[in-house]
Structures are given as structure tokens and as C-alpha cells.
Amino acid sequence: MSQSYLSQKLLNMSESATLLMAQKARELGNTGVDVISLSLGEPDFDTPDYIKEAAKKALDDGFTKYTPVPGLMELRQAICAKLKRDNNLNYTPKEIVVSNGAKQCIANTCLALLDEGDEVIIFTPYWVSYFHIVKFAGGKPISLYAGLDQEYKVSPEQLEEALTDKTKLIIFSSPSNPTGSVYSKSEIEALAKVISKRSGLFVIADEIYEYITFEDKNTSIAQFEGMKDKTITINGMSKGFAMTGWRLGYMAAPQWIASACTKVQGQFTSGANAFGQKAAVTALKAPPSDQDYMKEKYKERKKLLKKLLDEIDGIKTNNPEGAFYFFPNIAAFFGRTNGKRIIHNADEFVDILLDEAHVAAVSGTSFGDPNSFRISYATSNERLIEAMARIKKVLGEYK
Ligand SMILES: Cc1ncc(COP(=O)(O)O)c(C=O)c1O
């Protein structure tokens, strides 16, 4: 009844499929079933001790008050040094905004740039929140799909063709959630060539998985000719430093966009927490190789999981080069039955995995691809082996 008082904006928004699956898995787990969760996009590592120690010290040192809205100057300076060191980018602190997670940086940017009806091209499969943030900010999300046959990577020709007079913004992540694909340097450069030609066109480059790459290093699109004035580079502490719960992200952008985002943030949250920001200074100043042990583990798991997935008849999978996700195509199962249930689509596929194999994964539908599902491998080898054995057994019963 009271639903009728909710805003249309809110009613247009769907709940996060990832969180819904996590909840279903938890409910099943609460009944005593051993559920293996491969649904959440969260490192299974704890935050490194040296970062925790820095936060404890910051608390003792009295960093308990509001900070400047765009973040502590010391942190913005550390971010500029990091962007120079890792990304070949030159920024000043006025072009940096620190927020409560990369997610908020993306929301700030969309609220600052989009007017009703502005078109936003979202590379698809996409991270679920892009779509809803864009809609909430009044923009019109336009999905630009690249399938498994092109490693889920949009080509410059596709992008060129999708641009219209109304396109204002492009959003993509590399390394990608949900596919794990990583655009190579030449692929990024080719996209930059298309974008840099257009005035009034901007790009959000979400580099939150930057440190989790298995072959080539991440390439920042902002470094290419004509791109710095058009790029909002998004990054944060959540994935590379296993700091999801700290809620710390940042963006680097032309000063006028950074100032606009600071204005939005000033009204919404006043900025990120003070002692976390001090700890982030310590984290960003440390050599990125300090976190390599996480990357090595993900790489090992990826190899293992690729082998196990390839052994399951009907699953066609990609070979991700970063992040901690697989995004296999499962269209071969549609129409198959075990005599009791029929798999019609990816949503039913993941429901069957949960009900019958007790493995939680997320349907591709919510990522803009109804023929696939996402597996997060931020969990131990033992659990991955057990999960794949269960999945193989259950799917083997569907003919
Ligand atoms: C592609 C992508 N961008 C941004 C985020 C959000 O990161 P944060 O925890 O910094 O808000 C996530 C988290 O899952 C993500 O997968």
C-alpha cells in the first residue's frame, strides 16, 4: 500500500541481482545446507596489516573529524603520485575527488554531467550499477553489446556506429566486471581515437580492478592524445587492496568536472571517512607489488577454474585476463530438462545451480547478457573444485 508513495525514479530501479543472490544463498545456508557462494564481487583476502595499522594510528592521532569534501590534501597528492607512477597520468589535487567508494564517484559524475535524455553508451556485458545510476541521474542507458566471440570487448567500429548526436557519456570497465576481459593497450588506443574526435563526449574509465591483471598491465585511456579533457578515471581501494568495507574510491578528471562532483558530494555525504583516508595514503604510497600475492592467487584459481569449466559439456567460457570473474555462455542448456525441471534461461539456470548443486552464481541477465552467468572465484581452490564437481553432476542430469 505504502509502495504507492515511492518515487517513480525508485520504482524504475531494480534491486542488485548480486545482492539478491547472496541473500538467497544465505537463506539456504541458514537451513543447514553447505552453500558455496560464487556470487559476490569481493576479495576473500583481508586488508593487509600495514594498512590497518595506519588506520589505527590515524584514529589515535585524532583523524576523527570531517575532511575537506574532495578528500585530505595528503591523500589527493598521493593519488596524483600513484597516477603518475602506475598510469602515466599527470594530475593535480584539484582534479581529484575522494568518495565513499568508486561507486559514489560514478554516481557523482553521472549526477554532475547528465541531463534528462542524454544518451550514455554502456559497454555490455556491464557492471549492474552503471545502468541504474545512469537512469537515476536522468540519462538514457544505451547498451553496446560485445559477445564471447569478441572476448566481450567492444570494437572501435561498433562504438563509432553507436554514437549519436545525443551521446554524452561512455562507460566501461577494464579489467571488466562481469567478464574479466582486459582491453589491450592498442585496443584502448583505438577506442580513444574514436572518442577524441567528438566534442561534448566524455568517458568514465572504471579501473577499479587495475591491479588484478594476469597478462598485460592495465592501460588508462586518459593518457592518449585528446583524452585527458574527456576522461573521468575511476579507481578505489576495494579490489586491489581488499578494502571493500572501508568505502574509499577516487576519481581523476578535468578540474571543472572534479569541482562539480565535489559540489554534489558536499550536499550528499560531505566526503569519505577521515582515518580511512589516512590509511589509503599509506596504501597508495607502498609499491603495488606488495599486493601481488593476491593477484598470484587469483591467477592460479583462474587457471584451475578454466580447466574445470572446460570439462563441463555445454559450457562455453572465455579466458579472462583480469579481475576475478568468469562469464561463461550457457545457451546450450536452454531447453534441456532433468525430467522434472526445464532450463529456459539464465535466471532459471542459476536457480537450479543454487537449488540442486547448492552453488550460488549470478545470472547474466542483470549484466545485460541473457545467455551467460557470472562466477566469482574470490574463494579457495578447495571450494572451487567442490563447486565445479557439484555443478558438473547436476548439469549432467539435464539432457
Ligand atoms: C566495475 C566495478 N566498479 C566499481 C565497483 C564499486 O567499487 P567500490 O567498492 O569502490 O564502490 C565495483 C564493485 O563491485 C565494480 O565491480
In the chain, what are the domain boundaries?
2-46+291-396, 49-290
Cα(208) to centroid of ligand 1, in Å? 6
Task: Detail the DSSP E strand segments found in 207-261.
Answer: 231-236, 249-252
Query: For position 100, what pLDDT does the model report?
Result: 97
Whole-number Å distance between alpha carbons of 125 and 119:
17
Shortest CA distance to 326 belongs to which of 301, 350, 357, 349? Answer: 301
Query: For position 1, what pLDDT does the model report?
Result: 62
Q: Whose CA is nearest to atom 14 of ligand 1?
A: 41
Task: Give the mean pLDDT per block of 10 residues along the chain (399 residues).
Answer: 84 83 91 94 95 98 97 98 97 98 98 97 96 95 97 98 98 98 98 97 98 95 98 98 97 98 97 97 96 96 97 95 98 97 96 96 95 96 97 96
Q: Which CATH number fits domain 2-46+291-396: 3.30.470.10, 3.40.50.150, 3.40.50.620, 3.90.1150.10?
A: 3.90.1150.10
Cα(205) to centroid of ligand 1, in Å? 12
β-pairing, 119-124 vs 359-360, is unpaired
Best probe residue, ligand 1, of 239, 241, 269 (max atoms within 8 Å of C-beta) = 239
Whole-number Å distance between alpha carbons of 71 and 297:
32
Q: Whose CA is nearest to atom 16 of ligand 1?
A: 177
Cβ contacts of 316 within 8 Å, gap of 6 or more: 148, 328, 329, 330, 332
Cα(163) to centroid of ligand 1, in Å? 26
Q: Whose CA is nearest to atom 7 of ligand 1?
A: 102
Cβ contacts of 26 within 8 Å, gap of 6 or more: 35
Query: For position 19, what pLDDT does the model report?
Result: 83
Cα(212) to centroid of ligand 1, in Å? 13
What CATH code is assigned to 49-290? 3.40.640.10
Whole-number Å distance between alpha carbons of 232 and 171:
10
Which is the closest atom of ligand 1 to the Cα of 106? 4
Asked if residues 301 and 377 have their Cβ atoms less than 8 Å apart, the reply is yes
Is the bond into 178 cis (omega within 30 degrees of 0)? yes
Going 183 to 40 to 44 to 75, the CA torsion angle's sign is positive
Cα-Cα end-to-end distance for the chain:
44
Best probe residue, ligand 1, of 47, 131, 171, 177 (max atoms within 8 Å of C-beta) = 177
Task: Detail the DSSP E strand segments found in the chain.
Answer: 36-37, 96-99, 119-124, 140-145, 167-173, 202-206, 231-236, 249-252, 325-326, 359-360, 362-363, 373-376
- The pocket around ligand 1, CB under 6 angstroms, is made up of 41, 101-103, 127, 173, 177, 206, 208, 236, 238, 244, 249
Whole-number Å distance between alpha carbons of 233 and 253:
6
Cα(99) to centroid of ligand 1, in Å? 12
User: Distance of alpha carbon 116 from its chain centroid, rounded?
Assistant: 25
Query: For position 22, what pLDDT does the model report?
Result: 87
Cα(78) to centroid of ligand 1, in Å? 21
Query: For position 361, what pLDDT does the model report?
Result: 97
Which is the closest atom of ligand 1 to the Cα of 104? 11
Cα(79) to centroid of ligand 1, in Å? 18
Cα(102) to centroid of ligand 1, in Å? 6
Which is the closest atom of ligand 1 to the Cα of 100? 11
Query: For position 16, what pLDDT does the model report?
Result: 81
* pTM metric for this prediction: 0.96
Query: For position 30, what pLDDT does the model report?
Result: 94
